[in-house]
Structure 1
Amino acid sequence: MGGSSAAVHLGDPGFRRDHGVRLAYAAGAMAKGIASPDLVIRMARAGLMSWYGAGGQRLVTVRSAVRRIRAAAGPGAPWGVNLLHPIGMPALEEATVDLLLEEGVRSVEAAAYLEVTPALVRYRLTGLRAGPDGAPLPANRVLGKVSRLEVGAQFMSPAPPALVAALAAQGRITAQEAALAAHLPLADDICAEAESGGHTDRRPALVLLPAMQALRDREVRRHRLSRPPRVGLAGGLGTPAALAAAFAMGADFVLTGSINQGTVEAATSDAVKDLLAEAGPQDTDFAPAGDMFEIGARIQVLRRGLLFCARANRLYEVWRRHDGLHDVPAETLRQIERQYFGRSVAAVWDETCTHYARTAPEILDAAEANPKQKLAMVLRWYWIQANRLAMAGDESRRADWQVHCGPAMGAFNDWARGGPFEDWRCRHVDAIGLALMDAAAERLRARGGGHDGGEHRG
């Protein structure tokens, strides 16, 4: 099934040891459950790491998925859950961490964080104990997916003392956990996320990875950490050549994303997988991020055959130019209702109100007092609907499908052409990972570069 002896020696052996996996390779989480229980189970059974795509899912759905994965993967299997920072919704983040701790989830992929939060710190420190030599032994592992150095520094450092003290004072962590926190980085692993599908800061991998590695070395010295966090790479990884390049630069592990959305196990529609399998490296583009377009965040999406990117940019311009629904010309609103929403603005607002009344009523109250924020929430519904349409494969609204995707998808398709993975119905997430790692190892061996990139840190 793959996983050659050469591939075993790529990356940091500590990644393999700590996660209990065969290879320094992981499949990243895809929100809305696209990184499905089936995907995680398949990876776990193959001895490979992945995280369930809990972002944007209801807690009852997440709990059900966790229990299904645990039952199917078996005890000691490698897997985790995505902890996607829900901006402006701390109560939801706290509830998610409560669920993860209650269910005994021992690994999270922490993504979309701009700063450390009490909930994230609580997850990391709960169950922390001292080993025989007095060094801190965490019960819960954190992989921090970051694209900015200032965020990476927070994950590489011990949890902020003020947050630790507050959690201890509230009785949310023990005195022992608080005392040991100063000697433990917030994350075991840092994933430097270069230009990628979905949310992206468009950082070049050749710049980002070395910068994160240098930052890690500085933080280790500054905090005198006995167990340095590992630094891996994501973004643009869809071929053996790309993986080989990452390991040649000293990546401790690699994490793939876009290519896994087109696998049998991914929980999106067959029609989306058909599109992904036809994509070339040039068939993606950038659009505003629906959840963060107020701060200029961008996402990379599939462009070929779809109008989502153009329409999302148009809606962003509407928000940027107007102070509220009252300020948008009537003809523009009619066009949005007819061509973009397929329903009235009033109906969209009613659905939005129902959602936030249940999950974050404080956001709803703020929007009622701020016309521009209300406009943003109404327009944001298009992003939500565009994702639903794609996952359902709704052909009547095909032009509006939102499909997060980076150029790695097209590169993978070029590599797969004429081989066993050409048809996406033969693309299984574990088999792809094993094949890419084997081929990357062979590529490095042939060039005299086959080595264990992290052996020096043990």
Structure 2
Amino acid sequence: MQVAMKNISDPVGLFYPVSSVNESVHNVVSQLRHIGQPLFLSNYEGETKLYPNNLTASVENQQKAKTFMGMVLPCRLENLGSPEFCQDHGIRYPYLGGSMAKGISSVKMAQEFGRAGMLGFFGAAGQSLEDVEAAITSLKQSAVPFGFNLIHSPSEPELEKSLVELYLHHEIRLIEASAFLSLTLPIVRYRTHGIYRNEAGEVVTPNRVIAKISREEVAARFFAPPPEKYLQQLIESGDLTSDQAEMAVEIP
């Protein structure tokens, strides 16, 4: 069996161009940088020509039509990632600004990320609880998507616990977990707080965690259900009901 392959230089069809582009290198590069619009290529009297924007596909007068050779497709920033991620977090672009400690990722930075259609995190590590609480107040008033950092503090477990209590008190629904080598009781408490089953029987977790991970085995722990020992401790402390603990085994 033989298969006839179309030569890449063969024309695709005919079209009426709306506008053309000056063929200087500067203008061609300039048009390519408009990544949100298509760029059409045609052959006109033996030379390749570029046409931006839309084309008139209907050809009534063959003499006015140009030979269509191909196109550069639009490459919008909104499409360079997961649309589900954008929908889940109420943003336009699937990009986030990770938190840098001691407020380097400041309230202002998180606000600007949110206003630009992205997701910014406040760098709570190394900050006092009072400063973090002030940042929470400011960001809540901004009415933009945002999150807060929770850094693993093995030498200061009470600080990690206090930060989680602060986030739960102020109903912070998204945290960025960093420097974790394994799961801890505070982060399991944050993740499972308020868990419930909806009318469709699906487990719903109001609190979300985005983890910065550098090791596969640590990532596996975050993708697995919470450890049983922590769920039991949360039941004993009254932070989780037995029913909620059963739901928690169905979530990462």
With the length of structure 2 as denominator, give the TM-score of the two structures: 0.69
CA distance in 1, matches of 2:112, 2:78: 19
Alignment of 1:285-364 (within 5 A): none
Per the alignment, residue 94 of structure 2 pairs with 24
Establish whether residue 131 from structure 1 lines up as the match of residue 198 from structure 2. yes
Number of aligned residue pairs: 181
Structure 1 residues 41 and 90: alpha-carbon distance in aligned structure 2, compared to 1, 3 A threshold: same
Deviations 1:368-393 (A, max 9, x none): xxxxxxxxxxxxxxxxxxxxxxxxxx
- Tell me how far apart the structure 1 counterparts of residues 240 and 105 of structure 2 sit (CA, whole Å): 31
What displacement does 1:3 show? Answer: 10
Look up the match of 2:136.
Answer: 66
State the SS of the aligned residue for 2:149: strand
With over 3 angstroms needed to count, the CA separation of the structure-2 counterparts of 1:28 and 1:131, relative to structure 1, is same
User: Is the CA contact 1:37–1:68 (under 8 Å) kept in the aligned structure 2?
Assistant: yes
Correspondence for 1:39 among 109, 114, 117: 109
1:91-125 Cα shifts (integer Å, max 9, x gaps): 11110100001111110000000110000000000
Find the partner of 2:213 among 143, 146, 150: 146
Q: CA deviation at 1:44?
A: 1.4
Shift of 1:84: 0.7
1:182 match: 249
Return the match for 2:222 from 151, 155, 163. 155
Q: SS in structure 2 opposite 1:139?
A: coil
Q: Distance in 2 between matches of 1:178 and 1:3?
A: 48
Report if the CA contact (8 A) 1:31-1:54 is conserved. Answer: yes
- Post-superposition Cα deviations, 1:187-223, rounded to whole Å, max 9, x if no partner, equal xxxxxxxxxxxxxxxxxxxxxxxxxxxxxxxxxxxxx
The gaps in structure 2 that reach 5 residues or longer are: 1-33, 37-74
Deviations 1:112-152 (A, max 9, x none): 00110000000000011113321211111100111011111
Larger RCO, structures 1/2 (Cα 8 Å, 6+ apart)? 1
Q: Structure 1 residues 137 and 36 mapped into 2: Cα distance closer, same or farther (>3 Å)?
A: same
Cα-to-partner distance string for 1:134-182 (whole Å, 9 max, x where unaligned)? 1211111100111011111111111111211211121112333212101
Runs of 4+ residues over 2 Å off in structure 1: 2-6, 174-177
SS at match of 1:183: coil
| Cα distance in 1 between the residues matched to 2:196 and 2:186 | 19
Q: Does 2:168 align with 1:98?
A: no
CA–CA separation in structure 1 for the residues paired with 2:162 and 2:203: 26
Q: Contact 1:3/1:22 (CA < 8 Å) preserved in 2?
A: no
How far the C-alpha of 1:50 sits from its partner, in A, is 1.2
| Aligned match for 1:111, one of 164, 178, 181 | 178
| Displacement of 1:12 | 1.6
From 120, 131, 140, the equivalent of 2:187 is 120
Cα deviation for residue 78 of structure 1 reads: 1.2
Residue equivalent to 2:237: 170
Residues 34 and 53, structure 1, Cα contact 8 Å, conserved in 2: yes
Matched, 1:56 2:123: no
Deviations 1:402-425 (A, max 9, x none): xxxxxxxxxxxxxxxxxxxxxxxx
Amino acid across the alignment from 1:45: R
CA distance in 2, matches of 1:37, 1:90: 25
1:8 maps to a residue whose letter is E
Secondary structure of 2:182 counterpart: coil
Match of 2:51 in 1: none
Q: Is the 8 A contact 1:109 1:144 kept in 2?
A: yes
Displacement of 1:7: 1.8
- How many Å separate the matches in 2 of 1:131 and 1:55? 35
Q: Give the whole-Å Cα distance in 1 for the aligned partners of 2:145 and 2:242.
A: 30
Q: Which amino acid aligns with 2:112?
A: R
Residue aligning to 2:28:
none
